[in-house]
Amino acid sequence: MTAALEVRGLRKSFGRLPALRDIDLAIETGRVTAIVGPNAAGKSTLIKCILGLVRPDAGRITVLGQPVGNDPAYRHAVGYMPQLPRFPENLTGREVLAFLADLRGGDEPDEELLGRFHLEGALDKPVRALSGGTRQKLNAVVAFRHRPPLLILDEPTASLDPVASGILKDRVRHDAGAGATVLLTSHVMAEVEELADDLVYMVEGTVRFHGTLDSLRLRTGEKRVERAIAALMKEAA
């Protein structure tokens, strides 16, 4: 197995506050990995470093063999679904999608998710008229539309209804089956249990556990992921 994402010696502080302390991480191709941990564990900072939104103090990151740095080319391989999507209010969803597709260039976009979410009708309304859930669906479409080999999903199902959330999870499993690597954060442990192959547990800017869900169960002696993570938290304390 080759690593889709490699993080070596990653360090980042905000002022005097350390956010990441020497992170080493290798995510294998085609795996769905959930990053979990308490607030301020460094999950967001790690994701933002991978996306190039935050500049690390030290260390290096490679995405599919391409270095993360000033050259934005590697982001052709990355699809990002932020937690709180905001799109320009005056434009329609269709215009936003067209602009982002134009910016990325490349192949004919994949409209499967668009169809399954039944977004066609909403696409011609200005974004400001869309509900939070509809915006989140649009957000998901943006992330998956170009079939990126690396998907980064930040609390992907947070404001989706159960039906939409199910559609999105199906898509995540489908893409992972087709060889995409998925990195997601979630506070819903049932979702982690349903979606993830592997789990990364972070505390205070360090990775405390990285392995398959089964190895987590084995290590903690708990069957449910929620209980297992609670056991990890106690271990860390």
Partner 1 sequence: MSAAMKVLGFGLQNQLRSRWILGYALVFALLTDALFRFGGSGPRVVVSLLNVVLIMVPLVSVVFGTLHVSSAREFIELLLAQPVGRPSLYVGLYLGLAVPLAAAFAIGVSLPVLLHGGAGTPGLGVLLVAGVLLTFVFTSLAFMAGVRFDDRAKGLGVALLGWFAATVLYDGLVLLAATLFADYPLEAPMLAFALANPVDLARVLLLLRVDAAALMGYTGAVFERFFGSSLGVLAATGALLLWTAVPFLLGLKGFRRKDF
Residues of this chain that bind partner 1 (CB under 8 A): 14, 48, 51-55, 70-76, 78, 80, 82, 84-88, 90-91, 95, 99-100, 102-104, 126, 142, 152
Q: How far is the CB of 204 from partner 1 (least distance, A)?
A: 19
Alpha-carbon distance of 153 to 183, in angstroms, equals 6
Nearer to partner 1, 137 or 210 (CB): 137
- Using alpha carbons, select from 132, 40, 119, 138 the residue that is nearest to residue 81: 138
Q: Tell how strand 181-185 and strand 198-203 pair up.
A: unpaired
Alpha-carbon distance of 202 to 120, in angstroms, equals 39
Nearer to partner 1, 99 or 215 (CB): 99
Nearer to partner 1, 139 or 220 (CB): 139
Alpha-carbon distance of 7 to 27, in angstroms, equals 9
Q: How far is the CB of 135 from partner 1 (least distance, A)?
A: 11
Helix (H) / strand (E) element for 177: namely helix 162-177
Nearer to partner 1, 101 or 188 (CB): 101
Q: How far is the CB of 141 from partner 1 (least distance, A)?
A: 13
Q: How far is the CB of 84 from partner 1 (least distance, A)?
A: 6
Three-state SS for 64-127 is CCEECCCCHHHHHHEEEECCCCCCCCCCEHHHHHHHHHHHHCCCCCCCHHHHHCCCHHHHHCEH
Alpha-carbon distance of 53 to 232, in angstroms, equals 30
Q: How far is the CB of 1 from partner 1 (least distance, A)?
A: 26
Q: How far is the CB of 227 from partner 1 (least distance, A)?
A: 34
Nearer to partner 1, 84 or 190 (CB): 84
Nearer to partner 1, 13 or 29 (CB): 13
164 by Cβ neighbours in 10 Å (0-12 / 13-18 / 19+) ranks as buried
